[in-house]
Amino acid sequence: MIGVDIVKISRFENKSEKFISRVYSKREIEELNLKNGQNKSEYLASRFASKEAYLKASGKMTTKLSSIETLNDSNGKPHLFVNNEEVGEVSISHDTFAIAVVLLNKE
């Protein structure tokens, strides 16, 4: 299954710690803390779009957002995990908007 989501990056400027801790995993927050300025907003927006794209692809709308992670490997390629298990492919792009496309592995 395929899922797509797009969000405006400016919506993710000045997000509260409460929002961040509710939506993002500990590992995503660790990666976020290595970013600064506009890079933080782009990171938050792209990861949020990835989570929403996963929900659309899987149809599992009750999945806790913080259990859906997009983490980059050492080459910068994003990988999609749910409950620490890699579940499919994700492609992310961002400029004014962040877009994510998720292709789930067959179960």
Provide the CATH number for the domain around residue 32: 3.90.470.20
Domains of the chain: total: 1
What does the block give as tokens for 81? 């995990």
pLDDT tens, per residue, the chain with 107 residues: 999 999 999 999 999 999 999 999 999 999 999 998 889 999 999 999 999 999 999 999 999 999 999 999 999 999 999 999 999 999 999 999 999 999 998 76
Q: Which domain holds residue 100?
A: 2-104
Residues 102, 89: contact at Cβ < 8 Å? yes
pTM: 0.94
**Residue 45, H or E segment:** helix 38-58
**Residue 38, H or E segment:** helix 38-58
What does the block give as tokens for 80? 């999609």
DSSP 8-state assignment for residue 53: H
